[in-house]
Amino acid sequence: MEETTLISPTDIELFMRGVHYELYNLLGAHQKEGGVHFALWAKNAAQVYLAGDFNQWQEKSLPMHRNEAGIWDIFVPGVAEGSQYKYVIETKEGHLLWKADPFAFYSQLRPETASVVANVDGYEWAPFEHNKEGPISIYEVHIGSWKKGLGYRDAAHELAKYCIDLGFTHIELMPITEYPLDASWGYQVSGYFAPTARYGTVRDFQYFVDHMHKNGIGVILDWVPSHFPTDGFSLAQFDGTPLFEYSHPLMGFHPQWNTYIFDYASPRVCNFLLASALFWFDKYHIDGLRIDAVESIIMRDFAKQDFIPNIHGGRENLEAMNFLKHLNAAVKERYPKAIMCAEDSSYHAGITHQEGLNFDYKWALGWMTDTFNFFQTPFEHRDLSRITCIFDYIFTERFIVPLSHDEVVHEKRSLLEKMPGDEGQKLAGLRMLFAWMFCSPGRPLLFMGAEIAQKGEWNFSESLDWERANHQIQKCLRDLNKIYCSGLFESDFDAGMKWEIGDYFTLRRGGYVALFNFTTNAYSVEIPEGAFTTDSPDYGGMGRAGLPPLTTIIYDEKRISKPA
């Protein structure tokens, strides 16, 4: 076949520098007039061949052409959308590796692993203006287990309606980038440019985002640039050498997760990840990314007994931190209304500071730990100072306060079952937990199932227990979302917040007053008429006067009338 390259010197120069921000328009499989252009990066391969259903999977009938950047490409006439393919990489030792395309826009449904020629252009998007500065209340969802059997389109219809009903402004999807193992929940990615085929096609997921936007719901994707699986068909040892991962095992391997670590010192590897992030904004119109496992990215000693220090002898991965700064700068320059969130459990300062890593938000994992430690404590042993310690750090970053999926798995119990006491006290505790989340400084995030008072832990292979959904708890959450979105959110980052500790806990922020009675005692307190109370019969409470046991009362001093 005649050698034809569509890769320009400018493309090569940008890629070598690690700043080809639309690399997804160059590498991968792209439909052209009369056929498809295929290109991949495999700089250490001796030869690369293309194989697919269009050549009966012959391993060496379509040799590809190499340029000085280590990019191999070929134009194949007659190949159509939907064609399946892989690259056959001949290593310098003469071994043949059958690899999926790292830039594939679509893949076969697992357990099959071939890449699929797909078109991500041409979707007619409805206009949507994402309000980054407005209220942000996030519903975290795993599509496959929210309701079993839903594809992207059906899930879009049901989730949009559900989020509107409960008052959530954003939905955060656990990873939908293609992945081989269901039990990884999507956190071991094989396709950084492909929505998983589990729930539908490219067009189906574009429809999902578009439909959420038509209903005013922002879409945040969980994105995993921290590590990748060891599966032989994917990125691991891609050209027979550590191409995407660090070459030194102390740098390039996660012993805790049995996965490889991206080589953040390589401009080309960083370019791959930058392009992936930008791709989802460009081609799928998402509104934000939640970056998973940031501590594992920025700390060289994460979950390791032995590690290689940086050039200053420290534990920080300096090139990885530069990558994250570059990522946030690139996204914000092109999509200024995007939301960039860091799931980070490190003590590194400045995650959300412009002179630091420049994320918009950091998950408050310390808040989550301190909150659960307090709420799970038996009533008679509760010490309010153990929860007010949260306010020592809650304004050091711009936080998301999460009640996330991580806390309802691995025998940690559901949120309801974490609460002490009898069934009524557990439900009262859950209502208070929701109120605590909304009243804590930061943007609230709730994982699916908590809002229906699910008793069992989350199981990725099973649907939520909708038949036993507690609609009173749902109503409590709905009304808390109304309070939050109608004005409470405006003081999320106001360090002028005040609190008082007595028999009960009083929190004042932005004109709102919240009273938290974490005890089983009742207190005689004058409550303004019309105040929100978690003890309302509408929510499963008893409607008692004053400040009843295990109750939160919230009111806006600016809007509510005092009793005569």
**Which CATH number do you get for residue 215?**
3.20.20.80
Place of tokens 């100072």: 385
Are residues 37 and 179 located together in one domain of the fold? Answer: no
Residue environment code for 216-246, b if the CB has 16+ CB neighbours within 10 A, otherwise e: ebbbbbbbbbbbbbbbebbbbbbbbebbbbb
Residue 309 belongs to a domain: yes
The CA distance from 484 to 167, in Å, is 9
Please give the full DSSP string across 118-141, using - where no structure is assigned: -------PPP----TTS---EEEE
CATH of the domain at 523: 2.60.40.1180
Residue 564 belongs to a domain: no
Are residues 32 and 71 located together in one domain of the fold? Answer: yes
Residue 25 belongs to a domain: yes
Residue environment code for 21-57, b if the CB has 16+ CB neighbours within 10 A, otherwise e: bebbbbbbbbbeeebbbbbbbbeebebbbbbbebbee
Are residues 445 and 548 located together in one domain of the fold? Answer: no
Give catalytic status of residue 59 as yes or no: no
The CA distance from 346 to 431, in Å, is 30
Place of tokens 């904004």: 281
Are residues 349 and 451 located together in one domain of the fold? Answer: yes
Handedness of CA 164, 169, 174, 178 (dihedral sign): positive
Q: If DSSP codes are grouped into helix, strand and coil, which group holds residue 405?
A: helix
Are residues 485 and 503 located together in one domain of the fold? Answer: no
Are residues 170 and 89 located together in one domain of the fold? Answer: no
Domain boundary among 444, 469, 489: 489
Is the N-terminal amide bond of 225 cis, ω within 30° of 0? Answer: no
Are residues 286 and 425 located together in one domain of the fold? Answer: yes
Are residues 317 and 335 located together in one domain of the fold? Answer: yes
* Number of independent structural domains in the chain: 3
* Cα atoms in the 13 Å half-sphere on the side-chain side of 247: 6
Are residues 417 and 449 located together in one domain of the fold? Answer: yes
Are residues 316 and 429 located together in one domain of the fold? Answer: yes
Residue 130 belongs to a domain: no
Give catalytic status of residue 526 as yes or no: no
State which amino acid sits at residue 526: E
Are residues 392 and 455 located together in one domain of the fold? Answer: yes
Residue 1 belongs to a domain: no
The CA distance from 390 to 394, in Å, is 6
Tell me what pLDDT residue 496 has. Answer: 86
Residue 464 belongs to a domain: yes
State which amino acid sits at residue 332: K
The CA distance from 524 to 14, in Å, is 69
**Contact between residue 539 and residue 427 where contact means Cβ atoms under 8 Å apart:** no
Note down the domain range covering 87. 9-116
Tell me what pLDDT residue 560 has. Answer: 67
The CA distance from 447 to 407, in Å, is 9
Q: Looking at 178, 245, 287, 343, which residue is catalytic? A: 343
H helix or E strand, kind and range, residue 11: helix 9-17
The CA distance from 122 to 117, in Å, is 15
Domain boundary among 489, 514, 543: 489
The CA distance from 456 to 141, in Å, is 16
H helix or E strand, kind and range, residue 66: strand 65-66
Residue 323 belongs to a domain: yes
The CA distance from 297 to 227, in Å, is 8
pTM of this structure: 0.96
**Contact between residue 94 and residue 46 where contact means Cβ atoms under 8 Å apart:** yes
**Contact between residue 472 and residue 538 where contact means Cβ atoms under 8 Å apart:** yes
Tell me what pLDDT residue 4 has. Answer: 61
Tell me what pLDDT residue 564 has. Answer: 37
Question: What is the pLDDT tens value at each position of the chain, 564 positions in all?
Answer: 445 678 999 999 999 999 999 999 999 999 999 999 999 999 999 999 999 999 999 999 999 999 999 999 999 999 999 999 999 999 999 999 999 999 999 999 999 999 999 999 999 999 998 999 999 999 999 999 999 999 999 999 999 999 999 999 999 999 999 999 999 999 999 999 999 999 999 999 999 999 999 999 999 999 999 999 999 999 999 999 999 999 999 999 999 999 999 999 999 999 999 999 999 999 999 999 999 999 999 999 999 999 999 999 999 999 999 999 999 999 999 999 999 999 999 989 999 999 999 999 999 999 999 999 999 999 999 999 889 999 999 999 999 999 999 999 988 999 999 999 999 999 999 999 999 999 999 999 999 999 999 999 999 999 999 999 999 999 999 999 999 999 999 999 988 899 999 999 999 999 999 999 999 999 999 999 999 999 999 999 999 999 999 999 999 988 765 543
Residue 2 belongs to a domain: no
Are residues 425 and 407 located together in one domain of the fold? Answer: yes
Q: Looking at 101, 245, 287, 292, which residue is catalytic? A: 292
Residue environment code for 516-555, b if the CB has 16+ CB neighbours within 10 A, otherwise e: bbbbeeeeeeebeeeebbbbbeebbbeeeeebbbbbbbbb
Please report, for residues 248, 419, 441, 511, 531, the alpha-carbon distance to residue 508 in angstroms, rounded to integers and kept in the order given: 52, 25, 11, 7, 14
The CA distance from 127 to 454, in Å, is 36
